[in-house]
Amino acid sequence: MGIKKISEFLNKENRIAIVGVSDNSKKWGRKIFEKLKLDNFCVYPINPKHKKIGEDICYPNLRSLPKKPTIVITVVSPKITEKIVEECKELGINKIWMQPGSESGKVITFCRDNNIEASFNTCFVMNSKEGN
């Protein structure tokens, strides 16, 4: 299962939550966060280990966000992604982008069985160039 329309994920109207944003600027979660901010997306960093990422508030989980995201990007281990997709289902979030290494067969099946549009085996930053 892949993205039906990459443009749906790259629409600037989306509110994007990135699970796994780090305070380390060399980590992919941080790179994606910075790229999306630079491209003027509404983006929320999520990591329960941090209160702030730079000048931005960092949220501990999806439920703590000021607005429900339309897309969730995971940059975490498959075990954490499994919990995130379950939370997405509970919150009515139906688009998830799993960075390479954060997906698993269990997560992909869960998304398919619960009508969550999922992307995996592809990098959000690399593919974001297609929509710009």
Which residue segments constitute the domains of the chain, with CATH numbers given? 6-131 (3.40.50.720)
0.85 surpassed by pTM: yes
**What tokens does 21 get?**
């944003």
Cα–Cα distance for residue pair 81/96, rounded to 1 Å: 10
Successive 10-residue mean pLDDT values, the chain, 132 residues: 56 90 93 93 96 95 96 96 96 94 94 92 61 38
